Structure 1
Amino acid sequence: MNIKGNTILITGGTSGIGLAFAEEFIKEGNQVIITGRRADRLEEISKRLPGIITKLSDVVDAAQRTELADWVKQNHPETNILINNAGVQLVVDLKTPLDLDRIAPEIETNFIAPVHLGSLFVPILGENANATIMNVTSGLAFVPIALMPIYCATKAAMHSFTLSLRYQLKDIGIKVFEIAPPSVDTELGHDRRADKSQSHGGIPVSEFIAGAMDAIRNDVYEATVGMSAGLREKREAVFESMNDRIKLI
């Protein structure tokens, strides 16, 4: 796809992969809009990256998702790319009754929100050239880590949904990418760390972005970056050995 001259909306754009995508697309000459829940982070980023457009919005809230689409249609109707990036990763003990109030936002953020946003933005994107939806999933969509079962299940659901979305939109000219990162050194999963500002390891964000951008340039619609490629290929064969190495709850 053409990676220059687009207007791109990125959810969860205040840190990690979302922010890295924003910075990279700005370098390539695109107009970038980022959303997030943290007003202070949005303000700091807008000062650091002149020209970026920020929008305070919480994807967990269906009403705010609808308001976001209406705002884009009114203010930036030229938007032609949506990157569904916002994500939550929680440790969940399946040996005890689930706290639904705790896991509901994880499911909403990782699965319901991108499904809903995609449906809201199809009419907007479809009016513009180079129309694209990118869903950020995970290598864990193919081989889950049992320690974080809800996260992995939502990413597996997004993998399946993205296949259907791509099929349904192919005749109306909207490209659909799945970007499946490996473990990337971001703050994702801070729920299980005492120091919430500490990252969890993984490959550098810059290394992931380089692989993802190469796939996007070359229209690799299912882009498994780094070790995600191995997880995609081996799936169940990897599950037992990987989970045996990870300490369960």
Structure 2
Amino acid sequence: MDLSNRTVLVVGGTSGIGRELARRFAAAGSTVAVGGRSPQGLAELAEEGFGTFRIDVTDGDSVAAARDAVLAQYPELDTVVTMPGVMLMEDLRDPEHFEAARTTIDTNLVGTIRVVDAFTPHLVGRGVGDFITVTSGIAFLPFPPMPTYAASKAAVHAYSEALRAQLAGTGVGVVELVPPAVATAGQEKVNPHALPLDAFATEVMDLLAQNPTPPEVLVEGVLMHRWAERDGTYADLVAQRSQALSLLPGRQG
């Protein structure tokens, strides 16, 4: 993938990985716009020179309005990065967890589908372009305190595979980015093993720049997640990660 002359929209790019990828695409020479819900994040990115658009992926009307605004300003749009994501802990023994599950699915899975649906006619009409969907290592190796997060990202993986198959021959590619734990928003304090954001972004951009770009962008730090079943380590790793269930409020003490 040539990163130097693209027109990119990063949905969910007002913070963390999305924000860093927007900056990296811009540094490589691409024109970059960012969509998100955070007024402060959008304002800060606008000051850096990015095009910014308010978008709530849980609201179909918001997605449609953002699409129209983006395409009016960037008719040459050829790359859509979809990375809406919420990570919520849930205790499945407590029926109150359902609202967290609903929010997670509507944002992570249905939100991704809304964005893809909104921009598919444009990219297919151009006959060239790429979707970059963002899943997680947790899609392949669940983190038991976040069951619906894992399920939603596993679903986005499956959806990405199907989308790639359905768009074959149209000129539109589908690349799945699979992050491990990355040190953003203080996560390095929660997970000392989280990959530094700068190192992660550098590795991602190097992988995206390969020709051909791999269908799954897998940094070194996520390989143990992606291939746990193949390597026979899955059961042991899930058991280890299940120790984190003690973090749930109802499991403490």
Normalising by structure 1, what TM-score? Answer: 0.89
Q: Deviations over 1:187-229 (max 9, x none)?
A: 398xxxxxxxx77551111111112112211101111223311
Take 1:28 and 1:227, find their aligned partners in 2: how far apart are those partners?
24
| Partner SS for 1:171 | coil
In 1, Cα distance between equivalents of 2:224 and 2:236? 9
Work out the percentage of aligned pairs sharing the same amino acid: 30
Deviations 1:152-187 (A, max 9, x none): 100000111111011111110111000000000113
Q: Which residue of 1 aligns with 2:225?
A: 231
Q: Which of the numbers 145, 148, 155 marks the counterpart of 1:147? A: 145
Amino acid at match of 1:205: L
User: Counterpart of 1:158?
Assistant: 156
Matches within 5 A, 1:88-237: 88-128=86-126, 130-187=128-185, 201=192, 202-218=194-210, 219-235=213-229, 236-237=234-235
CA contact (8 A) 2:88 2:149 kept: yes
Match for 1:227: what amino acid?
G
- The 1-side partners of 2:114 and 2:61 are apart by 11
Query: What letter matches 2:7 in structure 1?
Result: T
Amino acid at match of 1:23: R
Which structure shows the higher helix fraction?
Answer: 2
Structure 1 residue aligned with 2:24: 24
Q: Write the deviation string for residues 28-80 of structure 1: whole angstroms up to 9, x where unpaired.
A: 11111101111122112221x22x10111111212111111222232222111
Provide the rounded CA distance (Å) in 1 between the counterparts of 2:59 and 2:140. 28
SS at match of 1:89: coil
1:3 alignment counterpart: 3
Q: Cα distance, 1:99 vs. partner?
A: 4.1
User: CA 1:213 to 1:114, structure 2 compared with 1: closer, same or farther past 3 Å?
Assistant: same
Q: 1:129 to 1:238 in 2, by over 3 A?
A: farther
* 1:195 paired residue number: none
- Contact 1:211–1:225 (CA under 8 A) maintained in structure 2: yes
Calculate the TM-score normalised by the size of structure 2: 0.88
Q: Is contact 2:145-2:242 (8 Å) kept? A: no
Q: In 2 relative to 1, CA 145–124 (structure 1 residues): closer, same or farther, beyond 3 Å?
A: same
Equivalent residue number for residue 37 of structure 1: 37
Deviations for 1:121-175, whole angstroms, at most 9, x for unmatched residues? 1111224465000001001110101100010100000111111011111110111
Q: Residue type matched to 1:212 in 2?
A: V
The alignment of Structure 1 onto Structure 2 pairs a total of residues equal to 240
Q: 1:241 Cα shift?
A: 3.5
Unaligned runs of 5+ in 2: 249-253
Distance in 2 between the 1:132 and 1:71 partners? 19
Where 1:227 maps in the other structure, the secondary structure is helix
Distance 1:87 1:156 in 2: 13
Q: Does the C-alpha gap of structure 1 residues 226 and 242 become closer, same or farther in structure 2, counting only changes over 3 Å? A: farther
Shift of 1:237: 3.5
Let me know the Cα RMSD of the aligned residues: 2.0
> In 2, Cα distance between the equivalents of 1:27 and 1:199?
30
Q: In the alignment, residue 195 of structure 2 is paired with which amino acid?
A: I
AA at the equivalent of 1:11? V
Do the aligned residues in 2 keep the contact of 1:184 with 1:204 (CA within 8 Å)? yes
